[in-house]
Amino acid sequence: MNALDELSETFSHLPGIGKKSASRIASYLLKTDRAFNIRFSNQILSLQERIKPCSICGAWTENDPCPICSDIARDKSVICVVEQPQDVSTIESSREFHGLFHVLGGVISPLEGVTPDKLRISQLFDRVKSGGITEVIIATNPTVEGDTTALFIQRVLQDTGVSVTRLASGLPAGGDLEYADRLTLVRSFQGRIKI
Amino acid sequence: MNALDELSETFSHLPGIGKKSASRIASYLLKTDRAFNIRFSNQILSLQERIKPCSICGAWTENDPCPICSDIARDKSVICVVEQPQDVSTIESSREFHGLFHVLGGVISPLEGVTPDKLRISQLFDRVKSGGITEVIIATNPTVEGDTTALFIQRVLQDTGVSVTRLASGLPAGGDLEYADRLTLVRSFQGRIKI
């Protein structure tokens, strides 16, 4: 196996990249600017050294606390709870939320050995207890595990006096009733709002 | 932009990778084995140093001449002419061809400024002239440019006495008549064979 096949093989291990795409990308890198490859190579090499979880919210960051936790313009009375660090950038790109985040690091899933103590739930409890928080919005995925985790967090926080909410679940915007699965339809009925 | 966004941005410049896939891959690399990233990074950095075109056939190789040109078991009387170095591995994976290769480095395309002298056609002529070749199989793509290039090579070689052939064009195996485009159908009629 030569250097080109080796690189192509490595690319094919990345999520969403098949053998054909991997070999196409490797060929592209062979013909591209040398400077691009040097930069690319350095970015991969330094990634894990430069990015760490924020000690407050758990999001990935180069500086601790992260830019969101240390932004004085953010609304510090609301915390949005998400499963994974990458969910933070998804929500940020919607520009709808201006509060703080809290990354759980997963969802409760006894089958996969993920019990509540393996998630950053006690840290969330501590943040709420330290005061100043009025609402916790739970943005775990609308799955069985995501719902279970949301319910668990609601129970943990119920005596703190904070308002615990959950993102609406229903028909995706621009979607078509015909293509909605049954559970999404059920949820869109249950969560219907007055117009 | 932090290290994660920078790497994600770089991935999104690669062929076939969109913004969502790029960010998914960057997150994957953040959580993966450190050893994987070190190897990946080195493979990208050393790629262009290690891989060079074979001085005989023009295929990408670490050793010159390439493993195919220097393989004594290959049939040295047949040369398969392809557009790009990556076409060599595509044909090799079919295990149908056991001769040698010749990479043109493109196809004749006056609109894009690719004239015959920019391709490795004279090198092909020299290889044929040096003797021992009985057949040249032209495997350029079945496009207007590929066909033009095939015809041009046929004319260049016509006085050498070598037999010049072209890969069959027609319905793809496992395909459906209904989905064949007009030109493919025309070609499958023109190239029909007696059964």
Please name the residues between 83 and 102 in chain A that touch chain B, using a CB distance below 8 Å.
84-86, 89
Using the beta-carbon criterion (under 8 Å), do B17 and A15 form an inter-chain contact?
A: no
Answer whether 0.80 is exceeded by the pTM.
no
Inform me whether the pLDDT recorded for A193 exceeds 80.
no
Kindly report the three-state secondary structure assignment for every residue of A107-146: CCEHHHCECHHHCCHHHHHHHHHCCCCCEEEECCCCCHHH
In whole numbers, what is the pLDDT of chain A averaged over residues? Answer: 92
- Nearest CB to A30 within list B13, B38, B47: B47
Inform me whether the pLDDT recorded for A105 exceeds 90.
yes
Q: Is A44 helix (H, G, I), strand (E, B) or coil?
A: helix
**Contacting residues for A102 by C-beta, under 8 A, at least 6 apart:** A57, A58, A79, A80, A81, A82, A120, A123, A124, A127, A136
Q: What's the pLDDT score for residue B172?
A: 83
A27-80 pLDDT, tens digit per residue, is 999 999 999 999 999 999 999 999 999 999 999 999 999 999 999 999 999 999
The pLDDT tens digits along chain B (195 residues) read: 899 999 999 999 999 999 999 999 999 999 999 999 999 999 999 999 999 999 999 999 999 999 999 999 999 999 999 999 989 988 888 888 999 999 999 999 999 999 999 999 999 999 999 989 999 999 999 889 999 999 999 999 999 999 999 888 888 887 777 777 888 888 888 888 777
B93-109 pLDDT, tens digit per residue, is 888 899 999 999 999 99
B58 — contact with chain A (CB < 8 Å)?
no
Q: Which residues of A touch B47 (CB under 8 A)?
A: 3-4, 7, 26, 29-30, 37
Q: Is the peptide bond before B65 cis (omega within 30 degrees of 0)?
A: yes
- Which numeric CATH code is attached to B3-50? 1.10.8.420
Which ranges in chain A are annotated with CATH 3.40.1360.10? 53-166
Which ranges in chain A are annotated with CATH 1.10.8.420? 3-50
Residue in this structure with the two tokens 């001769």, named with its chain if needed: B99
Q: What is the mean pLDDT of residues A121-134?
A: 95
Which residue is closest to B17 within chain A, CA to CA? Answer: A17
3-state helix, strand, coil in chain B (%, to 5): 45, 10, 40
Q: Which residues of B touch A92 (CB under 8 A)?
A: none
3-state helix, strand, coil in chain A (%, to 5): 45, 10, 40
Q: What's the pLDDT score for residue A192?
A: 80
Residue type, A12: S
- Separation of alpha carbons B181 and B183, rounded Å: 6
- Which numeric CATH code is attached to A53-166? 3.40.1360.10
Neighbours of A136 (CB within 10 A): 24
- Nearest CB to A48 within list B37, B60, B84: B37
- Nearest CB to B40 within list A44, A61, A62: A44
Using the beta-carbon criterion (under 8 Å), do B50 and A2 form an inter-chain contact?
A: yes
Q: What's the pLDDT score for residue A73?
A: 96
Asked if B3 contacts A63 with a C-beta cutoff of 8 angstroms, the reply is no
- Separation of alpha carbons B6 and A46, rounded Å: 11
Chain-centre distance for alpha carbon B24: 30
- Nearest CB to B24 within list A16, A21, A25: A16
